[in-house]
């Protein structure tokens, strides 16, 4: 079983997700193509840039005992400071991006001004149900980055609706 989903997420989430691209299948003669990952690059598709900016109450501290994941929430005042600074930084990049486009700079170079890791990107993810289960088992764990955990929860709801028995079996098998 294969599923294809359109995903819209910050680049920092997309780059973690990239680990779960196994391969691609091309069906000659049918015109159908099932690339495992097909991401919009902003070279040919015009889409208004959107950015992930955590609110003051969403900033997390570094974990005490690990290089991965995050700790608890930081003080609201500190979060407010970094939300404000990130918004200013993102707005400056947008101004420079729009100025470059207005001056005739090609989109593929103008996009260099956009704050990359918070920039939302859109892609199609085509994966076997087994591969999706592997993604879910790792990204639903407590130590996975919160932002990708939220996407994993949404993916779980979609695949449970489409393939309830297979999803339950695959998740149980991988957890055993």
Per-residue model confidence (pLDDT) at position 133: 93
| DSSP string for 87-147 | HHHHHHHHHHHHHHHHTT--HHHHGGGS-TTTBEEEEEEEEEHHHHHHHHHHHTSTTS-HH
Tokens 């001056």 found at = 103
Contact (CB, 8 A) for 11 and 118: yes
Domains of the chain, residue spans: 1-51+120-176, 53-117
Residue 143 dihedral angles phi and psi, to the nearest 5°:
-95, 5
CA distance 129 to 138: 14
Widest CA span of the chain, in angstroms? Answer: 59
Does the domain at 1-51+120-176 match CATH 3.30.1360.170? Answer given as yes
Encode the chain (176 residues) as per-residue pLDDT tens digits: 889 999 999 999 998 898 887 654 444 444 455 567 777 766 666 788 999 999 999 999 988 887 677 889 999 999 999 999 999 999 999 999 999 999 999 888 998 999 998 999 999 898 889 999 999 999 999 888 999 999 999 999 999 999 999 999 999 877 76
pLDDT computed for residue 69 by the predictor: 73
Is there a catalytic annotation at residue 15?
A: no
Contact assessment for residue 28 and residue 13, using Cβ atoms and an 8 Å cutoff: no
Structure tokens at 23: 């391969």
**Residue 162 DSSP one-character state:** H
Which residue out of 15, 60, 111, 139 is catalytically annotated?
A: 139
- Please report the pLDDT score of residue 173 as a whole number: 78
């Amino acid at each position: 079983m294969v599923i294809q989903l359109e995903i819209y997420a910050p680049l920092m989430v997309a780059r973690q997700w990239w680990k779960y691209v196994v391969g691609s299948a091309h069906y000659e003669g049918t015109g159908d193509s099932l690339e495992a990952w097909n991401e919009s690059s902003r070279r040919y598709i015009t889409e208004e840039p959107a950015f992930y900016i955590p609110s003051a109450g969403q900033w997390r501290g570094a974990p005490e005992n690990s290089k991965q994941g995050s700790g608890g929430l930081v003080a609201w005042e500190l979060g407010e400071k970094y939300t404000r600074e990130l918004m200013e930084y993102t707005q400056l990049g947008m101004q420079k991006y729009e100025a470059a486009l207005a001056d005739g700079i090609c989109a593929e170079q103008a996009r260099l001004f956009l704050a990359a890791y918070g920039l939302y990107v859109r892609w199609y993810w085509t994966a076997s149900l087994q591969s999706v289960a592997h993604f879910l088992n790792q990204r639903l764990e407590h130590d996975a980055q919160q932002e990708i955990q939220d996407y994993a929860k949404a993916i779980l709801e979609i695949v449970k609706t489409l393939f309830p028995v297979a999803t339950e079996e695959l998740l149980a098998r991988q957890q055993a």
